[in-house]
């Protein structure tokens, strides 16, 4: 085999010279251009992992492994292997990291019998992402995860070139942030205990940044709020039965939400996107509440869904006014938001078509294709709301579906979600694998380059070489 022919996700373009080789024993020095100086240590570790002796050199002339800048598109990279040198090129930190990760896969494939006599096929791989937005979501509310688990997940995400981490931080079962506005609420939970301190959040955000991943915090309103409203009943509807939704006519409740979001924006200063939820609110308590009914009249609404829309548009406007971009779950219930808002399509594959005329961009996240809490096979327990989601099922997902001409410019990217109603923290990493490999080709690779049998062949090759075990057992 040629040693380019193992890469996951599958690259855009590979050209090989199958009669020429680079002998790995010839590496004795590596050179890193200043732009990428922060990768010197990981390059040293990479060579150590494969028992290859290479020292850092101050000039490319004395090095056989060269990492340099080239004016490529964002996140793109190029690896050129010739008999005398290996050259890694990229224009940014993401491109450099992805190139080094791809090169590591090549090293696994090349050194399966050990470094002695190991060689790389000469040639060149050029790669760039299909979508600029490639995300993974974790629900830390239903089951709490320690920071160490989240960091392991982030490392796996980076390995498979995912660049956004959508973090679901509150829900009816737990409020996982320690904020001044909601003081005490972090200790109220009906599932596993735990919350993130300011230091924890910094730790996660810093790790994510080092891995070229942006964090998208989610605070889900006005529904999914049983726990919140048990602790702060003053924000619930009048005479509500087991309130799970904020009262839509209660100004103090809305102020609470805005103050929470202000603190969250302070905690996540680099987060361009703030997810504000907007899903699965029930109207029963609103319909019976005199405060909501009065607000409905004052706003000339004919039903509570219209009033809910006004409420959430106001929250979205608040986020926009703070120079962040709001993301909302698509509800398929006629809600419309500011064109700058982003809609996460999870329920209905036709949602992108519905919101496109309004100017919203869409994240493709449809549950039957991308909800990783669904069983990978039916040996796992499942719930009535789930579907089987095999690795094959993930692999065949295409965010454009059959409407590429209509939604090509609307769909900004894709996100796989790990909800945790039934997933305790020790199952988080096992639930990611192996479906994450398949998902990376949906998010990164050009669709015309994807075939499932070829994916399986590359995956089996990397598995046999120990790459997957390395990811799990090395903590990488
Ligand atoms: Zn109300």
Ligand 1 midpoint to CA 52 (Å)? 67
pLDDT given at position 333: 80
Distance 308 CA to ligand 1 centre (A): 11
Ligand 1 (ion): residues with CB under 5 Å are 237, 247, 289, 291-292
Question: Nearest 5°: CA angle at 354, between 353 and 359?
Answer: 85
Alpha carbon of 337 to ligand 1 centroid (Å): 22
Ligand 1 mean position to 220 CA, how many Å?
A: 18
pTM over 0.85: yes
200 Cα: distance to centroid of ligand 1 (angstroms)? 35
Domains of the chain (ranges plus CATH)? 13-128 (3.30.379.10), 133-444 (3.20.20.80)
Q: Residue 332's pLDDT is what? A: 80
Query: SS in 3 state form for the chain?
Result: CCCCCCCCCCCCEEEEEEEEEEEHHHCCEEEECHHHHHHHHHHHHHHHHCCCCCEECCCHHHCCEEEEECCCCCCCEEEEECCCCEEEEECCHHHHHHHHHHHHHHHHHHCCCCCCCCEEEEEEEEECCCCCEEEEEEECCCCCCCHHHHHHHHHHHHHCCCCEEEEECEECCEECECCCCCCCHHHCECCCCCCECHHHHHHHHHHHHHCCCEEEEEEEECCCCHHHHHHCHHHCCCCCCCCCCCCCCCHHHHHHHHHHHHHHHHHCCCCCEEEEECCCCCCHHHHHCHHHHHHHHHCCCCCHHHHHHHHHHHHHHHHHHCCCEEEEECCCCCCCCCCCCEEEECCCCCHHHHHHHHCCEEEECCHHHHECCCCCCCCCCCCCCCCCCCHHHHHCCCCCCCCHHHHCCCEEEEEEEECCCCCCHHHHHHHHCCHHHHHHHHHCCCHHHCCHHHHHHHHHHHHHCCHHHHHHHCCC
Per-residue pLDDT of the chain (476 residues; tens, 9 = 90+): 899 999 999 999 999 999 999 999 999 999 999 999 999 999 999 999 999 989 999 999 999 999 999 999 999 999 999 999 999 999 999 999 999 999 999 999 999 999 999 999 999 999 999 999 999 999 999 999 999 999 999 999 999 999 999 999 999 999 999 999 999 999 999 999 999 999 999 999 999 999 999 999 999 999 999 999 999 999 999 999 899 999 999 999 999 999 999 999 999 999 999 999 999 999 999 999 999 999 999 999 999 999 999 999 999 999 999 999 999 999 888 899 999 999 999 999 999 999 999 999 999 999 999 999 999 999 999 999 999 999 999 999 999 999 999 999 999 999 999 999 999 999 999 999 999 999 999 999 999 999 999 999 999 999 999 999 999 887 65
What's the CA-to-centroid distance between 169 and ligand 1, angstroms? Answer: 24
> How far apart are the CA of 424 and the centre of ligand 1, in A?
34
Ligand 1 centroid to residue 51 C-alpha, Å: 66
Whole-number Å distance, alpha carbon 239 to ligand 1 midpoint, is 9
Phi, psi angles (nearest 5°) of residue 344: -95, 110
In tens, the pLDDT along 336-353 reads 999 999 999 999 999 999
> Ligand 1 centroid to 208 CA: how many Å?
39
Q: What is the pLDDT of residue 334?
A: 83
| Alpha carbon of 247 to ligand 1 centroid (Å) | 4
Q: 288 CA distance to ligand 1 centroid (A)?
A: 8
What is the CA(228)–ligand 1 centre distance, in A? 15
Q: Rounded to the nearest whole angstrom, what is the distance from the C-alpha of residue 229 to the centroid of ligand 1?
A: 12
CA 283 to centroid of ligand 1, rounded, Å? 10
- Centre of ligand 1 to C-alpha 209, Å, is 41
Ligand 1 mean position to 279 CA, how many Å?
A: 17
What contacts 366, CB < 8 A, 6 or more positions away?
345, 346, 347, 348, 349, 397
Q: How far is the CA of 259 from the centre of ligand 1 (A)?
A: 20
Pairing of strands 86-90, 65-69: parallel
Mean pLDDT over the full length of the chain: 96
Cα 355 to averaged position of ligand 1 atoms, centre (Å): 28
């Amino acid at each position: 085999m040629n040693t380019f022919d193992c890469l996951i996700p599958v690259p855009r373009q590979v050209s090989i010279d199958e009669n020429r080789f680079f002998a790995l024993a010839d590496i004795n020095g590596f050179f890193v251009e200043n732009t990428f100086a922060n990768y010197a240590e990981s390059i040293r570790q990479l060579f150590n992992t494969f028992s290859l002796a290479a020292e850092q050199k101050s000039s490319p002339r004395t090095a056989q492994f060269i990492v340099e800048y080239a004016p490529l598109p964002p996140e793109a990279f190029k690896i050129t292997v010739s008999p005398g040198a290996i050259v890694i090129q990229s224009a940014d930190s993401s491109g450099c990291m992805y190139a080094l990760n791809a090169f590591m896969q090549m090293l696994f494939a090349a050194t399966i019998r050990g470094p002695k006599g190991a060689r790389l096929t000469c040639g060149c791989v050029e790669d760039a992402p299909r979508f600029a937005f490639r995300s993974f979501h974790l629900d830390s509310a239903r089951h709490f995860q320690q920071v160490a688990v989240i960091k392991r997940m982030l490392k796996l995400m980076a390995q498979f070139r995912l660049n956004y981490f959508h973090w679901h931080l509150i829900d009816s079962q737990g409020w996982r942030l320690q904020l001044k506005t909601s003081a005490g609420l972090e200790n109220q939970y009906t599932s596993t205990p735990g919350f993130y301190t300011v230091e924890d959040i910094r730790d996660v955000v810093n790790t994510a940044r080092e891995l070229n991943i942006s964090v998208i915090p989610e605070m889900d309103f006005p529904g999914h709020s049983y726990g919140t409203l048990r602790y702060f009943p003053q924000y619930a509807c009048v005479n509500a039965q087991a309130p799970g939704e904020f009262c839509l006519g209660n100004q103090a409740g809305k102020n609470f939400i805005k103050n929470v979001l202000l603190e969250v924006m302070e905690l996540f200063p680099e987060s361009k996107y703030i997810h504000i939820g907007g899903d699965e609110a029930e109207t029963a308590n609103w319909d019976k509440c005199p405060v909501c009914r009065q607000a409905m009249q004052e706003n000339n609404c004919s039903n509570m869904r219209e009033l809910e829309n006004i409420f959430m548009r106001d929250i979205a406007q608040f986020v926009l006014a703070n120079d962040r971009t709001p993301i909302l779950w698509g509800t398929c219930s006629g809600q419309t938001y500011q064109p700058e808002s982003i809609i996460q399509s999870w329920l209905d594959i036709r949602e992108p078509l519905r919101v496109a005329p309004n100017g919203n961009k869409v994240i493709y996240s449809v549950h039957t294709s991308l909800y990783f809490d669904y069983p990978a096979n039916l040996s796992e327990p499942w719930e009535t709301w789930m579907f089987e989601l095999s690795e094959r099922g993930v692999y065949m997902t295409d965010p454009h579906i059959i409407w590429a001409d209509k939604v090509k410019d609307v769909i900004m990217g894709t996100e796989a979600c790990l909800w945790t109603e039934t997933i305790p923290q020790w199952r988080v990493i096992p639930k990611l694998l192996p479906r994450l490999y398949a998902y990376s080709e949906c998010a990164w690779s050009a669709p015309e380059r994807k075939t499932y049998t070829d994916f399986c062949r590359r995956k089996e090759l990397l598995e046999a070489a120990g790459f997957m075990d390395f990811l799990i057992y090395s903590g990488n």
